[in-house]
Amino acid sequence: MLFIVRKYLGFYFTAKTKYGIHSPFVFDFFNQVYDSNTSYYSFVAIEYVREKLKSNSNRINVEDFGAGSRRFGKGKKRKISKIAATSLQQPKMTALLFRLINYYNLKPVVLELGTSLGITTAYLSNANKNNTVYTIEGSKEIAKVANNVFKQLALKNVKLVIGNFDMVLPRLEFPQPLGFVYIDGNHKKEATLSYFNWALEKANEQTIIVVDDIYWSNDMIQAWDEIKENERVSLTIDLFKLGIVFLHKVQVKEHFKLKKTIF
């Protein structure tokens, strides 16, 4: 906890508000995607399902494939309500991911590494129903809950793949290029970099890749630093909770840290 607070303070004092942005592209991102309050009908239904998960006291077996969880430690039985309260991306951020796909018209394939209970997947799915959303989850009982969420929300464009990312990715067949990739599982440096490099091979200049929890550990901070250095990366936006990677051609590579308010 103290680690994250220290990192947040460091981020906060170096991040810019919209008044410090000189790039027209990033200024537009700030207004249209990051700071937009546009809400959609689908959000209401998804958030209703999230609330139901938060009051579900059933316990499920959770296999841990990643770097574990600060709150739970490695592999245990967990209440669905606890997973829903602590492991899922928060509504503001899921709405942001939705807007990224929507605003930049990212298609035809969306990939999420780390489905958990499927709430973020539901946002990714609704952002463009013509896309196909592949989402991968290693833990079978978690995946079962996610599958029920997809049924409740009648999502037709989601393909849930159960298995370890390391085993699934090399065999995954899908129409390329990847439009949008969300890396949100196994927060280890080497694993994160290998998923990122795998995604780069299937990406084009329009693809956007989001890496979650870039300040989660020193390992993740190093992974994010290496991602920024990659020669195909043209622009990055660090929002503390997650990092956004753009691959479109620019004259000068730039990295931004953004916050909404001065205080």
Q: Which residues bind ligand SAM (CB under 6 A)?
A: 65-66, 87-89, 112, 114, 116, 119-120, 136-139, 142, 164-165, 184-186
Burial class (CB in 10 A: 0-12, 13-18, 19+), 25: middle
Do the bridges between strand 178-183 and strand 203-212 make them parallel or antiparallel, or are there none, so unpaired? parallel
Residue 231 C-beta: closest distance to ligand SAM, Å: 27
Strand partners, 78: 60
Q: Smaller CB distance to ligand SAM: residue 165 or 215?
A: 165
Q: Smaller CB distance to ligand SAM: residue 184 or 238?
A: 184
Residue 50 C-beta: closest distance to ligand SAM, Å: 9
Residue 35 C-beta: closest distance to ligand SAM, Å: 21
Q: Smaller CB distance to ligand SAM: residue 137 or 238?
A: 137
> How many whole angstroms separate alpha carbon 17 and alpha carbon 34?
11
Task: Single out the residue of 119, 118, 123, 122 nearest to residue 100, CA to CA.
Answer: 123
Q: Smaller CB distance to ligand SAM: residue 169 or 233?
A: 169
Residue 143 C-beta: closest distance to ligand SAM, Å: 8
Residue 15 C-beta: closest distance to ligand SAM, Å: 23
Task: List the end-to-end C-alpha distance of the chain, in Å, as a whole number.
Answer: 21
Residue 134 C-beta: closest distance to ligand SAM, Å: 13
Residue whose pair of structure tokens reads 């579900």 in the numeric block? 56
Query: Residue 25 carries which side chain, given as an amino acid letter?
Result: F
> How many whole angstroms separate alpha carbon 55 and alpha carbon 156?
26
Token duo for residue 83: 């997973």
Token duo for residue 142: 């978690």
Q: Smaller CB distance to ligand SAM: residue 187 or 235?
A: 187
Residues 248, 218: contact at Cβ < 8 Å? no
Residue whose pair of structure tokens reads 């997947």 in the numeric block? 121
Q: Smaller CB distance to ligand SAM: residue 23 or 69?
A: 69
**At 260, is the secondary structure helix, strand, or coil?**
coil
